[in-house]
Structure 1
Amino acid sequence: MAFLEVDMHNHLLPGIDDGSQSVEQSMALIKGLHGIGFEKFICTPHIMEGVHPNTKSTIGAAQQLLNKELRAVNSKVEIFAAAEHMIDEGLEALLKKDNLCVMPGGYVLIEMSYLSESKALFQTILDIQNLGYKPILAHPERYNYYHYNFDMYKRIKDAGCLLQLNLLSISRYYGTEVKVAALTMIKSGMYDFVGTDTHHEKHLAALQEVVAKYPVRDLLKTCPVKNPSLLDHMQGNTIAVG
């Protein structure tokens, strides 16, 4: 995976969402992901009202904790902090205050419920753009309600929203329908970014299997994958604490 250079969607920050639960677990996951080629990580913990009520402060503190451990072992790995924002009322409030957790390069990662489409999707895309940022929709292939309405992916792209593939979606990890949707979108050149969305050891083991089994680089040649371009914006990026 070294050709991607940056894993821009993961849950490696310890103890703040449904991803890594400790610094030790974070370090083990980072070691495994480093083993398949990643050296830089944009950590994107959930911000989800009532479930994962993260803020710049909680995310920044977790980043500092993990960075301290990485420095202690002289790791070459670099981590940066942003978030995966659920489209909900909490995000609406953050947009009004221009208080989003923005990725290097001015990107904002958003997601929807897997159960039902957010009616606020297109308004959210517009609101993010009006603040001068570039929205990225996380793992569109996993929204089952779009599998029979493929034109929605095109409408989202036409609205100026970028699309991020979960690497595990090219296998049957999330089910056959998700794999079919992902491969169809890859063939159509619709993805702009690729992320691991790593939460735990089971994800890591499945990713190692995917990398061993699939010619990922060749598969993604149809897509203008922008992960390497993030490097230009990543120097000294730390999220504000407070």
Structure 2
Amino acid sequence: LDNQFSEQLRRYTPLTYDGTHLLVELPQYYLPGAWKDMISAVRDRGYIPVLAHPERYGRILQQEEFLQLARQEGVKYQGNVGSLKGFYGKSAAALAQTFRTCQLYEWWGTDSHNIAMANRIPLKT
């Protein structure tokens, strides 16, 4: 969800989980002012927005109880297994555990962008 998002959504058919659920991601350190409009644009196109790894947006989550507002806007959540295992730091791990306990997540993913990254993620318990 950045400056190019609305244009990209308008111009291209996005990849989805199942033709319905569209995975979206926030910029790392700020909440775009038009995030609600972007979420609405996703819904207006007939998709259900799924926010990737909310536990990794520590600073953003402190703004206006973002997760509750986003849920009211129809957003679902995908947790990151690496976060749960501490791969992205202690605060992300703690938030991931809290969100897991609260049953916030509908899905889990690895955020692996390539095989080398996948091999580094601690998936074994």
CA distance in 2, matches of 1:144, 1:190: 16
RMSD of aligned alpha carbons: 2.0
- Range moving further from structure 2, 106-115 or 195-204: 195-204
Please name the residue that 1:183 is paired with: 97
Tell me whether 1:162 sits opposite 2:76 in the alignment.
yes
Tell me whether 1:100 sits opposite 2:13 in the alignment.
yes
Alignment of 1:41-190 (within 5 A): 87-97=1-11, 99-103=12-16, 104-149=18-63, 151-190=65-104
Give the percent of matched residue pairs that are identical in Structure 1 and Structure 2: 24
CA distance in 1, matches of 2:10, 2:111: 27
Query: Aligned pair count?
Result: 124
Deviation at 1:149, TM superposition (A): 4.9
Alignment of 1:226-241 (within 5 A): none
TM-score (norm 1): 0.47
Which structure 1 residue ranges, 4+ long, deviate > 2 Å from structure 2?
Answer: 94-97, 146-151, 199-207
Q: Deviations over 1:136-174 (max 9, x none)?
A: 111111112135458321221121011111110101111
Q: Deviations over 1:202-236 (max 9, x none)?
A: 532333x33x22xxxxxxxxxxxxxxxxxxxxxxx
Bigger radius of gyration among the two: 1
TM-score (norm 2): 0.86
Relative to structure 1, the CA distance from residue 147 to residue 129 in structure 2 (aligned partners, 3 Å threshold; closer, same or farther) is closer
Q: Which runs of 5+ in 2 are unaligned?
A: none
